[in-house]
């Protein structure tokens, strides 16, 4: 593997992003109308060159339809306590079946997120509801996975460095 094709994401950074981040996903339709949904956690592939985000089918129907149609995706991570933020973009996104362990990942993500935002003044039960999805389609049937190769990663923490490609600021 040569220098340029190596993932810019270190193992430690990947683990950090798989923790209690606020994760939101955007896609777009054929008319370039954006769609948006909250993610239920994520996982990086072992070589960290592929990123999978978890979505609720009921909450993210438009994002899933757009991803199926054209594969363009953007994912933003925000660390709630610091407002530090990173955005990943890719053009090859597709929906995949949940892998073994993904349901556990989602449940543990929600609890980590709840634990991290509770000190910021958000009631735990209220935050859990954000990820609960509708009662009619209980998990794991409601859960979907979207995987893509991040072609660009940007830091978005507010300030002068916002919008810079990650390798320029790390």
Partner 1 sequence: MSLRITALRECLDGAVPAFVATCAPDGTPNITAISQVQYVDGEHVALSYQFFNKTRRNLLANPVLRLMVVHPRTAAQYRLTLRYLRTETEGPLFEAMKAKLAGIASHEGMAGVFKLQGSDLCRILDIERVAGETVPYQPLVHALPALRTALARLAAAQDLESLLGRALESLEREFAVHHAMILMLDARGDRLYTLASRGYEASGIGSEIALGDGVIGVCAAAGTPIRIGHLTSDAAYGRTVRAEAERAGLGGLLDTRIPLPGLPASASQMALPIQARGRLLGVLFVESPLDLRFSYDDEDALAILAGQVGLALQDLEGSPEAEDPPPAEHPGPPARNGERPLVVRHFAEDDSIFLDGDYLIKGVAGSIFWAMVRDHVDHQRTAFSNRELRLDPRIRLPDLSDNLEARLVLLGRRLVERGACVRMEKTGRGRFQLRIGRALELVEVPATLRES
| Residue 135 binds to partner 1 (criterion: CB under 8 A) | yes
Report the length, in residues, of the chain: 170
The C-alpha angle with vertex 155 and arms to 151 and 158, in degrees rounded to 5, equals 150
Strand order of the β-sheet with 143-148 is 94-96, 143-148, 51-56, 34-44, 22-28, 73-78, 85-90, 152-155
In terms of CB distance, is 12 or 158 closer to partner 1?
158
Cβ 86 to partner 1, closest distance in Å? 11
Cα(22)–Cα(40) distance, integer angstroms: 9
Spatial distance between the Cα atoms of 9 and 167, rounded to a whole number of angstroms: 9
The answer to whether 165 touches 152, Cβ cutoff 8 Å, is: yes
**Does residue number 166 form part of the binding site for partner 1 (CB under 8 A)?**
no
Select from 5-13, 45-53, 104-112, 132-140 the region that touches partner 1 (CB under 8 A): 132-140
Q: Does 165 bind partner 1 (CB under 8 A)?
A: no
- The only residue of 14, 16, 19, 36 in contact with partner 1, by rule CB under 8 A: 36
Which residue in the set 8, 19, 50, 85 belongs to the binding site for partner 1 (CB under 8 A)?
85
Q: What binding mask, one character per residue, do residues 87-126 give for partner 1 by CB under 8 A, x or -?
A: x-x-x-----------------------------xx--xx
Does position 25 bind partner 1 by CB under 8 A? yes
Whole-number Å distance between alpha carbons of 71 and 151: 12
Where does residue 123 rank: exposed (0-12), middle (13-18), buried (19+ CB within 10 A)?
exposed
Distance CA 147, CA 137 (A): 22
| CA Rg value for the chain | 16
Q: Which is nearer to partner 1, 44 or 88 (CB)?
A: 88
Total interface residues for partner 1 by CB under 8 A: 44
Q: Which residues bind to partner 1, rule: CB under 8 A?
A: 22, 24-28, 32-38, 56, 58-59, 70, 72-76, 78, 83, 85, 87, 89, 91, 121-122, 125-127, 129-130, 132-135, 156, 158-159, 162-163
């Amino acid at each position: 593997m040569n220098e340029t094709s190596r993932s810019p994401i270190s193992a430690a950074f990947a683990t950090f992003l798989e923790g209690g981040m606020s994760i939101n996903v955007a896609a777009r339709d054929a008319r370039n109308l954006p769609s948006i949904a909250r993610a239920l956690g994520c996982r990086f592939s072992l070589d960290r060159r592929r990123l999978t985000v978890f979505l609720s089918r009921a909450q993210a129907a438009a994002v899933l339809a757009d991803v199926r149609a054209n594969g363009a995706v953007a994912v933003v991570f925000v660390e709630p306590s610091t407002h530090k933020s990173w955005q990943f973009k890719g053009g090859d996104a597709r929906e995949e079946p949940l892998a073994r362990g993904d349901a556990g990942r989602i449940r543990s993500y929600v609890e980590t997120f709840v634990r991290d935002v509770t000190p910021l003044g958000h009631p735990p039960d209220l935050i859990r509801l954000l990820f609960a999805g509708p009662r009619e389609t209980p998990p794991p049937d409601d859960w979907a996975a979207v995987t893509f190769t991040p072609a660009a990663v940007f830091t978005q923490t507010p300030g002068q460095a916002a919008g810079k490609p990650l390798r320029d600021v790390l």
